Structure 1
């Protein structure tokens, strides 16, 4: 594992629990690993609009300067996904869903003919599989319940583009008192230690 793409989506920045768990994880990786960081709070992506999609659909040689600049958002992100040997995401739960800034990134990663294709048997992901580590942090307890819309969405999205090796690390009940928060963070830290060693092997 040479390059790890780190995606932070907490609006709390470095104070966000998902971001702090990411930092604990990367601290356990070999020093030779290079980190490619995307901080969606510090540099949020705009929501996807039709003119950007039109830029994608225009042949590269025919794009205007404005279209070339718009297409570059998606092209650069997809290239970073391709170049990474593993991807780490911090995903806090906001109103039962993923942060909107993370959805804006996903909207630029899912590109027909580039990261997936349609076939007679259904869509097929085109990215080479690699580990995806997801730090899911929540104020309440949702894992395994119908209120957890994040997990099936993330599973489906990454499977859709070809990334099926997914590792979820949950930290739940963070707003349910100090003892509950400490217990779930301790459990997450144990999982971090085991998984970082596994992926570095």
Structure 2
């Protein structure tokens, strides 16, 4: 059984393009192997932003944390556990105001844990999240890929590489707010998913 973790970050439901494409991707993956899907919907179950207390707990050795600190990072521990336990990670990341939704950034803040998902060495950082395949599904209202405004997929790819996930494939639907482009772009991405 292949374990798939889906991170949804669109605030939209039925009209979300990233949700539509993620459904298509899951159907495609399910044709190659039996999959068990865990979905974390950040729009429905929003994560708190990290605080001074959160960071203090992160940087306190586990055997020295107080009960209060353990309670503070329990959610982060759960999120990291989900990530470590999965085979395939799907991140659905629409572009909001030139970046990822703040809910997705909060998720990244909770799973970026020094000594847990990455470590610093004499030669630089080393990711500790190994042997994962990741897919990024993006949707943008305009055309941004390959321009200085392309802040979504490159950012997510960089973050994933930092924690050790380097097998990454991106499906980007652009021009979703442009009526003459939307259907064509969605069809192209769906075709690319089918060719996996």
| Shorter-chain TM-score above 0.5 | yes
Distance (whole Å) between structure 2 residues aligned to residue 26 and residue 153 of structure 1? 23
Which runs of structure 2 are paired with 1:1-150 in the superposition (5 Å)? 2-30=2-30, 32-150=34-152
> What is the aligned residue count?
194
Cα deviation 1:148-175 (Å, max 9, x = unaligned): 1122211211111100011000100010
Contact 1:4 1:84 in 2 (8 A): yes
**TM-score after normalising by structure 1:** 0.91
Distance (whole Å) between structure 1 residues aligned to residue 53 and residue 194 of structure 2? 44
Distance (whole Å) between structure 1 residues aligned to residue 16 and residue 68 of structure 2? 35
Cα deviation 1:15-65 (Å, max 9, x = unaligned): 311011101111223372100110000000011111111122233344333
Distance (whole Å) between structure 2 residues aligned to residue 186 and residue 193 of structure 1? 10
Distance (whole Å) between structure 1 residues aligned to residue 96 and residue 183 of structure 2? 21
Tell me which moved more, 107-116 or 23-32.
23-32
Tell me the CA shift for residue 114 of structure 1: 0.8
5+ long unaligned stretches in structure 2:
none
5+ long unaligned stretches in structure 1:
196-201
After the TM superposition, which segments of 4 or more aligned residues of structure 1 sit over 4 Å from their partners? none
2:73 alignment partner, SS class: helix
Tell me which moved more, 54-63 or 112-121.
54-63
Distance (whole Å) between structure 1 residues aligned to residue 177 and residue 6 of structure 2? 25
Distance (whole Å) between structure 1 residues aligned to residue 91 and residue 153 of structure 2? 13
Contact 2:136 2:153 in 1 (8 A): no
What corresponds to 1:191 in structure 2? 192
Cα deviation 1:117-144 (Å, max 9, x = unaligned): 1111111111113111001100000000
Contact 2:8 2:92 in 1 (8 A): yes
**TM-score after normalising by structure 2:** 0.94
What corresponds to 2:167 in structure 1? 165
Tell me the CA shift for residue 192 of structure 1: 1.1
